[in-house]
Structure 1
Amino acid sequence: MYGFRIVDKLQKIDVDIQKEQLRYHKKRVMVSKEFTFDAAHHLHNYEGKCKNLHGHTYKVIFGLSGFVDERGLMMDFGDIKDIWKNEIEVFLDHRYLNETLPPMNTTAENMVVWIYEKMTEALSQDERQKQYHGVRVEFVRLFETPTSYAEARREWMEVE
């Protein structure tokens, strides 16, 4: 059986590990972060329950890839959260989506592409490109219910 163990000696930079050892590799890696938001919408030109005003607790999952910096860090999860909170979620959370999104039918299929575009736009800013070493959106997955989602992938978004 494994028991709780207190570390004998806390590793120290420049003593137990050198700064040039922090980056283990130079490969592209992907990090992922998920968020939820609550919103109301209705669908146009649709026969079924969703033609009526209703709401969902949506879940969004981002997959972002890039290269690690000298610390071995590709992108801080807190920075992804800041982009989400300040540049995307403000249009979605506790909103009537038919009003706050560009003119579109507010299907998961349309919304996931809009969210993908917003994150791509946020990451393409010059200062972020310099800071995050080739970061790009690999995928966005938008769950409308716990078992139903739409997905946008980079390889699909870059071709017509």
Structure 2
Amino acid sequence: MFFAPKEIKTETGESLVYNLHRTMVSKEFTFDAAHHLFNYEGKCKSLHGHTYHLQIAVSGYLDDRGMTYDFGDLKNIYKNHLEPYLDHRYLNESLPYMNTTAENMVFWIFQTTSKYLSEERELRLEYVRLYETPTAFAEFRREWLDD
């Protein structure tokens, strides 16, 4: 059951920021791609494909609208700088030379996304998680850059 609002709120001129702490937002994407693995003696040595599931998480302090990072801006980074290399591609040809394991790919995605993330409000890429199957993923986290 839905109720109609009694009134439509309007801005009062006061701050729209309620949360003063760092907050993380994440957006998820799906893409299909083919690859094969080098130096591997299993069935993945042969050409095969996956429907990958990608999560990209960004943290920062809220802007004057009360937003950490616009989900649309994260989508634009994916659409313009990641998707052309990932979706419906043969990854061994479209990515830089590497064994196209989820572990290598997730680091490339992290590096590429970082290049296009705005530096305002101390925004930082926290992690990238790449599912190769519904139950298997690789992840790269910002804090591991120092390891």
TM-score, scaled relative to structure 2:
0.96
2:119 alignment partner, one of 104, 129, 146: 129
2:131 alignment partner, one of 135, 143, 147: 143
Runs of 5+ unmatched residues, structure 1? none
- RMSD of aligned residue pairs (Cα, Å): 1.0
Deviation at 1:129, TM superposition (A): 1.9
Deviation at 1:74, TM superposition (A): 1.3
Of structures 1 and 2, the larger Rg is shown by: 1
Pair 1:113-2:107 in alignment: yes
Q: Is residue 20–residue 70 contact of structure 1 (8 Å, CA) maintained in 2?
A: no
Q: Determine the structure 2 residue equivalent to 1:12.
A: 10
Aligned partners of 1:46 and 1:111: how far apart in 2?
16
Aligned partners of 1:134 and 1:89: how far apart in 2?
26
SS at match of 2:119: helix
Runs of 5+ unmatched residues, structure 2? none
CA deviation string 1:11-54 (max 9, x = no partner): 111xxxx2333011321100010000000000000001000000
- Taking the TM superposition and a 5 Å limit, the aligned residue runs for 1:81-120 are 81-120=75-114
Aligned partners of 2:14 and 2:2: how far apart in 1?
31
Deviation at 1:122, TM superposition (A): 1.0
Aligned partners of 1:21 and 1:30: how far apart in 2?
20
TM-score, scaled relative to structure 1:
0.89
Identity of aligned residues (%): 56
Query: Please, which moves more after superposition, 20-29 or 52-61?
Result: 20-29
Runs of 4+ that moved beyond 2 A: 18-21
Residues matched between the structures, number: 147
